Structure 1
């Protein structure tokens, strides 16, 4: 049952007080969520600013851009406005900037820093230093030398704030960067450009080069704090903290810095050995959850079904203390096997007139009211199309609720095609205006309100096509268009009371027995995370309502990751026929099928990703010694 409590938490403390495990080479602290971690970082920076000011000294900060530090800057602005934190004696040097890049461009880091920090505090503009993306190519080397000299003239960096890219880059020091590299121009890695593509409305618009502080420059800072948030960073964080120092992962060079701390949330820390497999680090407190996780891991590691694991397997894998707590390995094995077996059900809404003692869902009521929340207008069928199909076939009243319009994910050529067809049939001048708006749009422009309306309507039509195919009446399909999303830009507004009120209204109207929602925090848009936060906030407000006592919440994951096997609390098998039905339902979302705008580095189409993921889940169950199925969809129960 998912409660979203951190797996492990360490108090925020100076690096010198950290006792490293034999795996970890960099001090790190883990917070329940990014907000808590960011606030702590902001307060450390604020304390340093005040301390230096009280000593009559300038505080020199190295600053980062990207999504990771935004909440740090929000808290620094709050401290300035509400608690009098002054930046009058602060000098800043930013890590990097795209090249070429105009300062006025909304994708420039000059624009970013003023938008999020400098325009809201009392810093002297002459104390702000950001690499200049307008420097002519022939002048870049001389400019970079002068940037280094400016840092040295300011007394060096007192504090350097960092994020980390999936390539392991810090600043824009991509794989291959030298240990002692200085400020310079650099060619961006393909993965870095892919990650930036959504903000630039396509990979082809992302600059290929940048100016960045070097590894050597960063390492001269007296204090370094690197932040990483989210599942997408888990792999590179493990490699950086536990791996060998290597130019292929430039962030590993921080292993030799004497005062570096990585500030992580629980998702980005999930692959660290002491979190993921703590029995390899030392003695464990063997809870039921940890034991189950360990058994699944051991079975897959040894490539043996759970019921065939032996005492030797336990002893050879650092689990002898677990073995000593039980009568035999078989006793532990059978408990894990039974638990996995009890997650499998062909009745996601509960099996009527059946003993539900060991079933994931209740038998009563036999016909349930169900809400499937879908952040974008295709997540429902991509993530749980097979379960969706079973719920309808088994007679439940299924409502599909699309939380956002998804309009920014419709390419211009798709909207243009629809507008031109409508215009050719003699429809209103509105379509002529839409064609004109699209034709005049530049790479830096946002869609006009008319274009956004058309794109949103296209996605609605696709959604209705898919839900009709799945057997849902149109009046059981709901489009919320949550306000946080409807900005017309990639950047969204913070979740607000109006969003929560809309969520409350749909839940109170339907009074569901089951809610399915996207728990996929690896979504590169961030929309899934905000939609999940909206649901959690709504559940908190509604939980005392009488109808909520009968409501269970199940979390699915989207196109990027699946729940780990040990986390799964309901696994719904799919027949080969259902796999094909799910595929066809996804195909109704034609604008998201070929050349999708926010595909990430995975070039497979969404239906392929979903099928491969579902088949992999079924295969893992089979390897653990359970029955063999064509595919399986997985869910975790959320306790609110």
Structure 2
């Protein structure tokens, strides 16, 4: 469902005819990426069909990366189910890594074939991508020829774009000029870091790429840019509301006469109409909106909530809130109390206590709990303090590791593990190790000659999975979870050997459903960070949501509450938090030691992202930041806090 689709937001300053336009690019906000992608796919399909009626080719500029995947999936569905033909489509992709073989698993040639071209009826001679194998001496001519081909077919009718965390479009990095042509560029460090997951580490990511320039992108008759998740929120605000600047190349799109940004609510969270909607237009002052406004006002003015005055409200566009709710002090007291009631040292409920103002029920006093962990370390990284509290307070805690996490283990770590096992077996002449030794031997031989573009063999994935399984067991032992309560689900969707996973299937959902039925939990904890709609966390949640949907009619599910935690990169906004579990300095250190059990994820982890710190450092900063925010709002001061939002089904 579309959450908002105002193309432009205008604030009247009181000077007639001199409005302030916040959004300089038409921006449509959708509740989620699926609905947004469907809308974009429909526009592309309509354009293709219109061109077919006119007997003309439809010239598309296409993007790669995670953002357009759902658009391509919907176009493929339309081809299969609605007869959408691509025979009149001519496409030109934005970019390609350099150097890059077209059949490499990292190649954009391969990406486009797997995501779209091989699944529809577009003629092979009708799609074009920059050539990552072209000799360097011929690159300049290749780039000129590429643009000439676009011009020869009449130019781009439609250009689909994503946006990088630093504002790049195509691979036009910060510093690119508005008149830049198609060329070879050096990739920004942040761009390479963002791609490290796909390549199995930063060192494997190419340092250069061929990209269509800003000028040919702006020559397209229609441009649509996609963005999903809160990690894109700041750069989207800069592109949409900020000045045109080479530091944010997407801001150049403000000069285009027919451009639209299609984004989800998380990517829109920093836009003025989403962050402070009361400063733009009249709003419905329900409790959630009041809570958001008061906490933001407190943060902006750097004043505790209880010190906010009527003047503070009036001076910051909230006079209608005062008119509706009365004195500011009464509003302050109400929101302060609501925040106070989110804090609890008893995440499973406090026995023999009045729970009317507590986030969790006191009964049953001893709850059955499932902590779903997408990877073998998300449990301890994201909610290690709460995890420990639940165990220490006598609840029956089960941990369900949804995937093996094997692709996040470096090759040299796997080789070290293989050498230990083989040497141990040989030294002590362990019997019945023929099969085991063959698995390790074959894995070692593959790793010794593995190419960067090769996918791990099943044997290597088995070894890497064992490493992560052992680390997860060590964490559970450290926290106090018995072996019988540790569940390795090994969901099939994950076991592709690459970052690109298989679609979630019936078997994945049934695995989750079976565990929930066996445990009959009073609490479920699950990862709620969905920045990447195709990421493992989101797919793991989709399986949980589907399983709960099938089971919600069961009597035991009526007593089950679901709590969502976030990952190591971001926390819930303060007005969203419904349960905050404080940690003492000793508990913070204990959580750190639990994270240390995951040795394969330390010292240069494969999927570092654009943050060079280790996971324990990220987690501690996030948890301490949450505690500091509560303190600044005028509540109790704690060393750290873990935060949760309740999902109601």
Do they superpose with TM above 0.5?
yes
What is the Cα deviation at residue 10 of structure 1?
Answer: 2.1
The answer to whether the 8 A contact 1:522-1:561 is kept is: no
- Aligned counterpart, 1:144: 143
The answer to whether the 8 A contact 1:226-1:261 is kept is: yes
Deviations 1:154-194 (A, max 9, x none): 11111111111111111111111111222111111111111
| Alpha-carbon distance between aligned partners in 1 of 2:106 and 2:40, rounded to the nearest angstrom | 25
| Alpha-carbon distance between aligned partners in 2 of 1:141 and 1:162, rounded to the nearest angstrom | 24
The answer to whether the 8 A contact 2:59-2:90 is kept is: yes
Alignment partner of 1:620 out of 617, 629, 632: 629
- Aligned counterpart, 1:507: 516
| Alpha-carbon distance between aligned partners in 2 of 1:525 and 1:77, rounded to the nearest angstrom | 17
What is the Cα deviation at residue 316 of structure 1?
Answer: 1.4
Deviations 1:238-261 (A, max 9, x none): 111111100111110111111101
- Aligned counterpart, 1:439: 448
| Alpha-carbon distance between aligned partners in 1 of 2:217 and 2:533, rounded to the nearest angstrom | 27
Runs of 4+ in structure 1 deviating by more than 6 angstroms, as ranges, are none
| Alpha-carbon distance between aligned partners in 2 of 1:87 and 1:69, rounded to the nearest angstrom | 17
| Alpha-carbon distance between aligned partners in 1 of 2:298 and 2:367, rounded to the nearest angstrom | 37
- Aligned counterpart, 1:586: 595
| Alpha-carbon distance between aligned partners in 2 of 1:110 and 1:433, rounded to the nearest angstrom | 30
- Aligned counterpart, 2:477: 468
- What SS does the aligned partner of 1:567 have? coil
Deviations 1:394-432 (A, max 9, x none): 111111111111111111111111111111121533333
- Aligned counterpart, 1:453: 462
Query: Does residue 297 of the first structure (1) align with residue 296 of the second (2)?
Result: yes
Deviations 1:217-255 (A, max 9, x none): 111111111111122211111111111100111110111
Q: 1:137 to 1:246 in 2, by over 3 A?
A: same
Over the aligned positions, Cα root-mean-square deviation in angstroms equals 1.5
Q: How does 1:481-496 map to 2 (within 5 A)?
A: 481-496=490-505
| Alpha-carbon distance between aligned partners in 2 of 1:245 and 1:202, rounded to the nearest angstrom | 33
Alignment partner of 1:538 out of 530, 547, 555: 547
The answer to whether the 8 A contact 2:223-2:258 is kept is: yes
- What SS does the aligned partner of 2:546 have? helix
**Higher alpha-carbon deviation: 458-467 or 328-337:** 458-467
The answer to whether the 8 A contact 2:100-2:132 is kept is: yes
Deviations 1:296-328 (A, max 9, x none): 111111111100100111111111111121221
The answer to whether the 8 A contact 2:9-2:280 is kept is: no
The answer to whether the 8 A contact 2:10-2:280 is kept is: no
- Aligned counterpart, 1:412: 411
Deviations 1:357-416 (A, max 9, x none): 000000111110011111111111111111111111111111111111111111111111
Q: How does 1:162-181 map to 2 (within 5 A)?
A: 162-181=161-180
Q: 1:615 to 1:455 in 2, by over 3 A?
A: same
Deviations 1:528-585 (A, max 9, x none): 1111111111111110011000000111111111111111100111111111111111
- Aligned counterpart, 1:200: 199
Q: How does 1:117-128 map to 2 (within 5 A)?
A: 117-128=116-127
- Aligned counterpart, 1:35: 34
Structure 1, unmatched stretches of 5+, are: none
Query: Does residue 250 of the first structure (1) align with residue 249 of the second (2)?
Result: yes
Alignment partner of 1:571 out of 565, 580, 583: 580
| Alpha-carbon distance between aligned partners in 1 of 2:398 and 2:335, rounded to the nearest angstrom | 35
Q: 1:622 to 1:515 in 2, by over 3 A?
A: same
- Aligned counterpart, 1:384: 383
| Alpha-carbon distance between aligned partners in 2 of 1:355 and 1:440, rounded to the nearest angstrom | 64
- What SS does the aligned partner of 2:134 have? coil
Q: How does 1:8-19 map to 2 (within 5 A)?
A: 8-10=3-5
| Alpha-carbon distance between aligned partners in 2 of 1:493 and 1:146, rounded to the nearest angstrom | 37
- Aligned counterpart, 2:17: none
Q: 1:522 to 1:52 in 2, by over 3 A?
A: closer
| Alpha-carbon distance between aligned partners in 1 of 2:87 and 2:595, rounded to the nearest angstrom | 55
The answer to whether the 8 A contact 2:526-2:564 is kept is: yes
| Alpha-carbon distance between aligned partners in 2 of 1:393 and 1:572, rounded to the nearest angstrom | 14
Q: How does 1:303-314 map to 2 (within 5 A)?
A: 303-314=302-313
Query: Does residue 600 of the first structure (1) align with residue 612 of the second (2)?
Result: no
**Higher alpha-carbon deviation: 419-428 or 497-506:** 419-428
| Alpha-carbon distance between aligned partners in 2 of 1:139 and 1:450, rounded to the nearest angstrom | 41
What is the Cα deviation at residue 523 of structure 1?
Answer: 6.4
- Aligned counterpart, 1:217: 216
- Aligned counterpart, 2:134: 135
- What SS does the aligned partner of 1:580 have? helix
- What SS does the aligned partner of 1:565 have? coil
- Aligned counterpart, 2:78: 79
What is the Cα deviation at residue 20 of structure 1?
Answer: 5.5
- What SS does the aligned partner of 1:517 have? strand
What is the Cα deviation at residue 522 of structure 1?
Answer: 3.4
What is the Cα deviation at residue 440 of structure 1?
Answer: 2.1
The answer to whether the 8 A contact 2:200-2:408 is kept is: no
- What SS does the aligned partner of 1:445 have? coil
| Alpha-carbon distance between aligned partners in 2 of 1:449 and 1:94, rounded to the nearest angstrom | 33
What is the Cα deviation at residue 525 of structure 1?
Answer: 7.9
**Higher alpha-carbon deviation: 76-85 or 385-394:** 76-85
What is the Cα deviation at residue 272 of structure 1?
Answer: 1.1
| Alpha-carbon distance between aligned partners in 2 of 1:304 and 1:452, rounded to the nearest angstrom | 53
- What SS does the aligned partner of 2:451 have? coil
| Alpha-carbon distance between aligned partners in 2 of 1:120 and 1:584, rounded to the nearest angstrom | 48
The answer to whether the 8 A contact 2:355-2:362 is kept is: yes
Q: 1:492 to 1:344 in 2, by over 3 A?
A: same
- Aligned counterpart, 2:567: 558
- Aligned counterpart, 2:95: 96
| Alpha-carbon distance between aligned partners in 2 of 1:369 and 1:412, rounded to the nearest angstrom | 38
What is the Cα deviation at residue 524 of structure 1?
Answer: 9.7
Number of corresponding residues:
630
The answer to whether the 8 A contact 2:195-2:609 is kept is: no
| Alpha-carbon distance between aligned partners in 2 of 1:216 and 1:440, rounded to the nearest angstrom | 43
What is the Cα deviation at residue 126 of structure 1?
Answer: 2.1
**Higher alpha-carbon deviation: 324-333 or 505-514:** 324-333
| Alpha-carbon distance between aligned partners in 1 of 2:29 and 2:374, rounded to the nearest angstrom | 28
